[in-house]
Structure 1
Amino acid sequence: MENPRQITAIQASLVMISTIIGVGVLPLPLFAARAGGSGAPLVTIIGIAVALCGLVLITRLGQRFPHQTIIEYSEDIVGKLLGRIGSVLIILFFAVLTSLAAREFGEVVVTSVLKKTPLEVTVIVMLLLSALSTRSSMTTFTYIHHFYFPLLVFPAILIVALSLKNANVLFLQPVWGTGEWGSMFRGGLTIAALFQGSFVMTMVIPFMRNPSRVMKSACWAIVIAGGLYLSIVTATVSVFGSDETIKLLWPTLELAKTTSLPANILERLDAAFLAVWVTAVFTTLFSTYYFMNHALSRLLRLKDHRMFAMMTLPFVFVIAMLPQNVLNMYEIIQVVGQIGLLITVGYPLLLLVVARFRKKGGDIHGGQNSAESRSGNET
């Protein structure tokens, strides 16, 4: 059995960042511009704030129960029956989240790159790659994210920085937007749904060397991932304008097409951007698929999750093929994402309130009783 305390605070941040930055990067400016017009950056800030609140909740829970995942301590807080019902809902939600991300990946690939390749092939290949990768330990899971992190963040920052030479500040005025506040808030919830991958932190905390530093890890993750999302939205709207951004299905991809390296070394960066985006999709699917199987193994009190890697694949693939077309897919994504906030934000809030009321947990540094409890769970 691997040492359960192998993950550092920095590695925990990198896991969250590479999980958050994923398939949703492409339609992100569309969601923001549709809700707020020129106030798309403000809509994004609202989404980041909501996502931060959710992450703070699960972080506080993780600090109270540093040796258990949410699957385990939820049963201690609200009882076995209600805890297991909540755990099943979490597992089902992440199965749907994984499926929709794989389907979105397939739609982009068959539309932009492999136009003669069947959609089913691209989806099953990415799901299969994720499934095989999840047959690894938590330490390996962390190292994979650690390895891919610079390949995700730095090219994205470079593309955004180069695109600003075509920016027009007038497209960002008025800064408070042209839409209604209700529409902007709903758009903010849609943006917040793109951060739901950070929920995997509930799985990572029990393996951290120092769980008391998890709040710092969470804040840095939101700052970096949220800052990148905000810069992408700002750059896209400032280049195309909100009216034109709404007409684009994948505005971030179009932004890469209009961006070039100095001296015209590369006149278009969309090919390079798609390579980076594919990596981002893999890290996101890898995390959500891993979390789904890990949570299922904890629910059934099994030693590890490896046996579920291939067993859950057909179920996820079938869900991925349910949307009729790309427009129907995005309608489902927005509805599922907003409803999912009840699971990723509302449920942790309920658990935290009940835990404080019943005075459950509170051992941040890992006392002997919690350590023995975790040892018993793992064996």
Structure 2
Amino acid sequence: MSKPLGHEQEIEEKELMYSIASMILSVGVLTLPRNIAATTRYSDGWMSIVLAGTIAVALVWILSTLAASFPKQSYFEFISRIASRPVGYMLTGLFSFSYLLFTAFELRSVADVTKHYLFDKTPIEFIGLAFMLVVIYAVYGSRVGLLRLNMLFFPIVGAVLTLSLLLNVGVVDVNHFKPMFVTDWKGIMKGAQASGFSFLGFEIVLMYAMLMKNPQRTVKAAVKGTMIPFATYIVLYIFTIGVLSYRNTAELAFPTVEFAKEAEVPGAFFERFESLFFTIWIMTIFNTTAMSLDVCMLSLKSIVPKASKMTKLLVLSPLIYLISFVPQDNSELNSFGTVISFFHFMCCIMLPAFIFIAAKWRKVKPDG
């Protein structure tokens, strides 16, 4: 059984909500329009987002309900209570390994995008190392402090994203939306699968629910935290198609950043809005990478409780850095991301969902 947490180690509903929203809205938002436009036609991709988002909300409800049913208990503790201790070790280990790979992917992605748009002459390995060191510094500090950082960064990111949408209103071409409803159901399903990967991240509720000051609000916070990216993805996709067209969107590596380039700033006093957009967006990517590494370490804490935080960081950080540079080019990185997403979906979402069904079937309660 976990020890009672002090007030300074607990989080409120808003902190969990913003953490989940930030976790989902990271690198995925930079490539989401491209992935959907490649499988759907014109503006039909919004249907894929609605389908994927609805499934994501249903799954986050299941996972948050599972976590909230065992207040103040860690993922390892309630999984062990439901399915036995060996299963608890196995699922917690898979959770940790999945987030290790997820952290490596985030690290490589931010290094690639940063080199492409900001530091084109700087070696990508150095960019990745510098970013990794900052992430390590953040994770070594207070876990609750890291989660509360989302409340500081997320409103800023949201404001810049809203500004980019408003500045592009005059550039939207309604002809890019026509004709509508011309994509067959296979294309919609493929688009939903592609956009579904951009919703990954809400499963951190399984790890952070034990920090909730009011566990009964876990489900509400998790669902609201998923609904924010849900709505953002739909609006962003429609605007991107309206500005760039679906054909151009499907061919661009990072259509969201290219979309920000089209922003028309009144008075032309700011010519490279995309630089501001991406610089601010790094805040969200930083929080996502830091939380991914933190979740990886939090999972390991249940398996190797005697290892100190510094020891785990010293072991995991070089491993993550090396894995992140295994892909040699953008094509390999995309394939790497797809494999990680499938593995992550199975280990961190579907398996816990089955555990939820088992808990209901066996009527397992926190008190045993």
Normalised TM-score (structure 1):
0.90
Amino acid at match of 2:315: M
**Residue correspondence of structure 1 range 94-105 to structure 2 within 5 A:** 94-105=99-110
Amino acid at match of 2:152: F
Inter-partner Cα distance in structure 2 for 1:349 and 1:21: 23
Amino acid at match of 1:319: I
Inter-partner Cα distance in structure 2 for 1:100 and 1:177: 34
Structure 1, unpaired ranges of 5+: 364-368, 371-379
CA gap 1:132/1:2 in 2 versus in 1, 3 angstroms: farther
Amino acid at match of 2:6: N
1:302 Cα offset (Å): 4.2
1:24 aligns with 2:28: yes
Structure 2 equivalent of residue 139 of structure 1:
144
1:70 Cα offset (Å): 1.9
Equivalent of 1:274 in 271, 275, 278: 278
Structure 1 equivalent of residue 243 of structure 2:
239
**Residue correspondence of structure 1 range 1-379 to structure 2 within 5 A:** 3=6, 6-38=10-42, 39-178=44-183, 180-302=184-306, 305-361=309-365
Kindly report structure 1 stretches of 4+ aligned residues shifted beyond 6 Å. none
- Does the CA-based 8 Å contact 2:260-2:274 persist in structure 1? yes
Inter-partner Cα distance in structure 2 for 1:3 and 1:142: 16
CA gap 1:58/1:302 in 2 versus in 1, 3 angstroms: farther
- Does the CA-based 8 Å contact 1:68-1:206 persist in structure 2? yes
Inter-partner Cα distance in structure 1 for 2:61 and 2:11: 19
For residues 314-366 of structure 1, give each alpha carbon's deviation from its aligned partner in whole angstroms, at most 9, with x where no partner exists.
111111011110121112212321342212321121110111112112x5xxx
Inter-partner Cα distance in structure 1 for 2:85 and 2:137: 32
1:301 Cα offset (Å): 3.2
Inter-partner Cα distance in structure 2 for 1:177 and 1:327: 29
- Does the CA-based 8 Å contact 1:294-1:305 persist in structure 2? no
1:123 Cα offset (Å): 1.1
Normalised TM-score (structure 2):
0.93
1:53 Cα offset (Å): 2.1
- Does the CA-based 8 Å contact 2:30-2:257 persist in structure 1? yes
- Does the CA-based 8 Å contact 2:76-2:88 persist in structure 1? yes
Q: Taking every aligned residue pair, what percent have the same amino acid on both sides?
A: 20
Amino acid at match of 1:210: N
RMSD of aligned C-alpha atoms? 1.9
1:71 Cα offset (Å): 2.5
- SS at 2:92's partner residue? helix
